[in-house]
Amino acid sequence: MTERSWPDLATLELLSSVARTGSINQAAELHGISQPAASWRLRRLEELLGVTLLRRTRSGAQLTPDGSAVVGWAERVLTSARDLLEGVEALTSDGHAALRLAASLTVAEYLLPGWVTPLTRQHPDLALSLRMANSTDVVRLFERGEVDLGFVEGARAPAGMQGRTVWLDELVVVVAPEHRLARRRSPLGPAHLASTPLVAREVGSGTREVLERALAQHGLVPSVALELASTTAIKSAVAEGDGVAVLSLLAVARELADGRLRLVPVVDLDLSRAIRAVWPRSQPLNEYARALLEGIRHTG
Amino acid sequence: MTERSWPDLATLELLSSVARTGSINQAAELHGISQPAASWRLRRLEELLGVTLLRRTRSGAQLTPDGSAVVGWAERVLTSARDLLEGVEALTSDGHAALRLAASLTVAEYLLPGWVTPLTRQHPDLALSLRMANSTDVVRLFERGEVDLGFVEGARAPAGMQGRTVWLDELVVVVAPEHRLARRRSPLGPAHLASTPLVAREVGSGTREVLERALAQHGLVPSVALELASTTAIKSAVAEGDGVAVLSLLAVARELADGRLRLVPVVDLDLSRAIRAVWPRSQPLNEYARALLEGIRHTG
DNA sequence: GGTTCGTTCTAAACTCTCTTTATGACCGAG
DNA sequence: CTCGGTCATAAAGAGAGTTTAGAACGAACC
């Protein structure tokens, strides 16, 4: 179905070499192929992308503006491809140690890095594989035995799985520094928050759900002025203008630290949600999954 | 020189499809190739990686544990490859708008995302390309005209370039919550900090340099107990044990927010360094680079 | 229990991508 | 001017990757 034709990783690496050496010839030599072959591949790549990448002169080849942009992207592709090979390497080395994780986007982005680094320091040869997946996807991955340990947000563990709460994600109210609420001294009550027009994620998203549930306990519903699709979109919208948002503390920690956003204190409202590690009831955790959980317990 | 042979992106995508559909046959159909072709490609991939990816039965194909790990990595590769194609797409669409940035690792990781999102919201079709590079690399990239705007840490702009300070990165002293310094009430003085054994980056790194210069103003030198190669290594070392580290506030904002690290106040010491946007004196900034700078000024 | 559908593998023929080898043309430095 | 460097072109060849065709096996269903 996907009718795209992918560029060739070897050619991307070749292009990167041309950028470094300034010569198709030398780049070809680096890769152990003949100069015409290199030239031909680069031309094919240009054809595929529909962009002129190189300005070929009689004294070398230089990147066009478009070309240097492509090199920037290409290097990222190569980096992740190297990660793949490196991971497989770890997989095939005697220990055969692998830990396959699945986590929601926010967990993967904000929490998992901190949990995982200690583990990789203890086991440098451990092959860590992470897949982004929402709660329902995680269940399916477990059914197929494709994952060792998963992380989901939500009230309780999915059916057939056991879990352990590893984190309490706290939602906070944030505004731009210029916003009038930023100067407010006394904390916001539930009624006041409910009457404030918010910038929020769509209905069905995790954070939106927590907010609605918390307000519902006081018989209130949030008033949403603007719905955006991603957390970063909300953050930049609020930072620019005069909006008010309710977001995970983790997602805005950096912005709070550097002053792009201000925190507005709230009282009498439980804006927290559990983040739990889950695994199938039927099979025990492997050594590394246990170690990871132990590490999280320690820090949390 | 690099004697590696890269996996084929189409095959990686095929593998991902097999994981989803549970059938080589269906995956082949999705990609518009015959079943034997798909089977052959997957076998080649297994051969290349030296890993058995699939358990083939008469009623479908399932990932092996190794296979699912590989799928996790493969999906990342495909994502970055899609970013490349998407970027080129934006490049070739009529506007031809591109902005090529180069930044140091820390700027790229901690600051740039926040600066860039407003810009991409204003110009959704802008092709943004980012290359990681240290200060000297940035100069070389400019010489070759491969970059529109760069970001470097350091006292002053490199020769031949003009720059503008866009950020003051502040270094802070952090410890684990259990550390005795975490309970300390009164702020630390320069002499006390200099006599405290630190976990630090190697000599020559940006943060180390700032620390040494700040202490030197008081005729002091830091005492380093342990040198580590990366900021994340330092963070996890300090979070686990009883070390003391001096790190960028941005790098530890998340850990401070979630309580894995505690901040130790310091007085009488200038632990800040400038981060500046730089561009060649010879050529003017393009429209988007100007817009980006303007946006930074606004928030900063 | 057989029949049918779906799955896989194997084998042989073929296509065509990509490579090398062998050129030629051009530029700049010594 | 010549030498060493660059790139492009052309022709021929290798081999990767494809398709078509056929066979074997398992599961589900009547």
Contact at CB, B65 and A232, closer than 8 angstroms: no
**d(CA B157, nearest CA chain A) in Å:** 23
Nearest-Cα residue of chain B relative to residue A147 = B68
Q: Is A263 on the interface with B (CB under 8 A)?
A: no
Count of alpha carbons within 13 Å of B273, Cβ hemisphere only? Answer: 25
**Domain at B74-167+274-299, CATH class:** alpha beta
Give distance CA B32 / C1' C2 (Å).
34
User: Residue A69 and residue A281: Cα distance in Å, rounded?
Assistant: 49
Please give the average per-residue pLDDT across A158-168, as a whole number. Answer: 85
Residue A109: per-residue pLDDT:
86
Of A90-94, A190-194, B17-21, B185-189, give the lowest mean pLDDT range. A90-94
**Tell me: the pLDDT tens digits for A234-244?**
888 898 777 89
Residues from chain A that touch B74, judged by Cβ atoms under 8 A, are: 84
Give distance CA A248 / C1' D11 (Å).
65
**Tell me: the pLDDT tens digits for B183-208?**
888 899 999 999 999 999 888 777 88
% of chain A at pLDDT higher than 90: 46
Residue A2: per-residue pLDDT:
47
Give distance CA B60 / C1' D25 (Å).
12
Which bases of chain D come closer than 7 Å to a protein CB? 5-11, 17-21, 24-27
Q: Is the pLDDT of residue A298 over 70?
A: no
**d(CA A69, nearest CA chain B) in Å:** 5
Domain with CATH 1.10.10.10 in chain A: 3-67
Give distance CA A92 / C1' C20 (Å).
35
* CB of A23 within 7 Å of some strand D atom: yes
Instruction: Name the residue with higher pLDDT: B194 or B1.
Output: B194
CATH of A168-273 given 1.10.3110.10, 3.40.50.970, 3.30.465.10, 3.40.190.290: 3.40.190.290
DSSP, collapsed to helix, strand or coil, labels residue A123 as: coil
Q: Is the pLDDT of residue B98 over 60?
A: yes
* C-alpha closest to that of B118 among A234, A11, A225, A137: A234
**Tell me: the pLDDT tens digits for A173-208?**
999 988 999 988 889 999 999 999 999 988 877 788
Give residues 174 to 233 of A whose Cβ lies within 8 Å of B. Answer: 232-233
* CB of A25 within 7 Å of some strand D atom: yes
User: Counting beta carbons within 10 angstroms of the beta carbon of residue B87, is it exposed (0 to 12), middle (13 to 18) or buried (19 or more)?
Assistant: buried
* C-alpha closest to that of B246 among B220, B267, B264, B219: B264
- Taking a C-beta distance cutoff of 8 angstroms, is the pair A164, A292 a contact? no
Q: Is the pLDDT of residue B68 over 90?
A: yes
Q: Is the pLDDT of residue A156 over 80?
A: no
Q: Is the pLDDT of residue B300 over 70?
A: no
Residue B298: per-residue pLDDT:
52
Protein residues contacting strand C, judged by Cβ under 7 Å: A 8, 10, 32-37, 40-41, 44, 58-59; B 23-26, 35-36, 39-40, 43, 56-61
Domain with CATH 3.40.190.10 in chain B: 74-167+274-299
pLDDT band at B283 (very low <50, low <70, confident <90, very high): confident
**Angle, nearest 10°, between helix axes A9-21 and A24-31?**
130
Domain with CATH 3.40.190.290 in chain B: 168-273
Residue B3: per-residue pLDDT:
55
User: Residue B49 and residue B64: Cα distance in Å, rounded?
Assistant: 14
Nearest-Cα residue of chain A relative to residue B298 = A240
pLDDT band at B1 (very low <50, low <70, confident <90, very high): very low
* DSSP for A1-42, written as a single string: -----PPPHHHHHHHHHHHHHS-HHHHHHHHTS-HHHHHHHH
Beta bridge partners of B262: B175
pLDDT band at A44 (very low <50, low <70, confident <90, very high): very high
Q: Is the pLDDT of residue B289 over 90?
A: yes
Residues from chain B that touch A63, judged by Cβ atoms under 8 A, are: 144-146
Give distance CA B37 / C1' C13 (Å).
15
Q: Over chain A, what is the mean pLDDT?
A: 88
Contact at CB, A83 and B63, closer than 8 angstroms: no
Which bases of chain C come closer than 7 Å to a protein CB? 6-12, 18-22, 25-28
Q: Over chain B, what is the mean pLDDT?
A: 88
Give the nucleotide with minimal C1' distance to the Cα of B58: C7
* DSSP for chain B, written as a single string: -----PPPHHHHHHHHHHHHHS-HHHHHHHHTS-HHHHHHHHHHHHHHHTS--EEEETTEEEE-HHHHHHHHHHHHHHHHHHHHHHHHHHHHSTT--EEEEEE-HHIIIIIHHHHHHHHHHH-TT-EEEEEE--HHHHHHHHHTT--SEEEEESSSPPTTEEEEEEEEEEEEEEE-TTSGGGG--SPBPHHHHHHSEEEEEPTTSHHHHHHHHHHHTTT---EEEEEESSHHHHHHHHHHSS-EEEEEHHHHHHHHHHTSSEEE-B-S---EEEEEEEEESSSPPPHHHHHHHHHHHHH-
Residue A128: per-residue pLDDT:
93
Residues from chain B that touch A79, judged by Cβ atoms under 8 A, are: 80
Give the nucleotide with minimal C1' distance to the Cα of B27: C7
Residue A3: per-residue pLDDT:
56
DSSP, collapsed to helix, strand or coil, labels residue A266 as: strand
Of A136-140, B94-98, B159-163, B243-247, give the lowest mean pLDDT range. B94-98
**Tell me: the pLDDT tens digits for A119-130?**
887 888 899 999
Please give the average per-residue pLDDT across B258-285, as a whole number. Answer: 89
**d(CA B1, nearest CA chain A) in Å:** 5
* CB of B5 within 7 Å of some strand D atom: no
Domain formed by B3-67, architecture: Orthogonal Bundle (1.10)
Contact at CB, A50 and B88, closer than 8 angstroms: yes
Residues from chain A that touch B41, judged by Cβ atoms under 8 A, are: none
**Tell me: the pLDDT tens digits for A45-80?**
999 999 999 998 888 899 999 999 999 999 999 999
Q: How many residues does chain B have?
A: 300
**d(CA A219, nearest CA chain B) in Å:** 31
Q: Is the pLDDT of residue A1 over 80?
A: no
Give residues 94 to 153 of B whose Cβ lies within 8 Å of A. Answer: 98, 100, 110-111, 113-114, 117-118, 121, 127, 129-132, 141, 144-147
User: Residue B245 and residue B256: Cα distance in Å, rounded?
Assistant: 13
Q: How would you classify the pairing of strands B161-175 and B272-280? A: antiparallel
Contact at CB, A232 and B117, closer than 8 angstroms: yes
Please give the average per-residue pLDDT across A133-159, as a whole number. Answer: 85
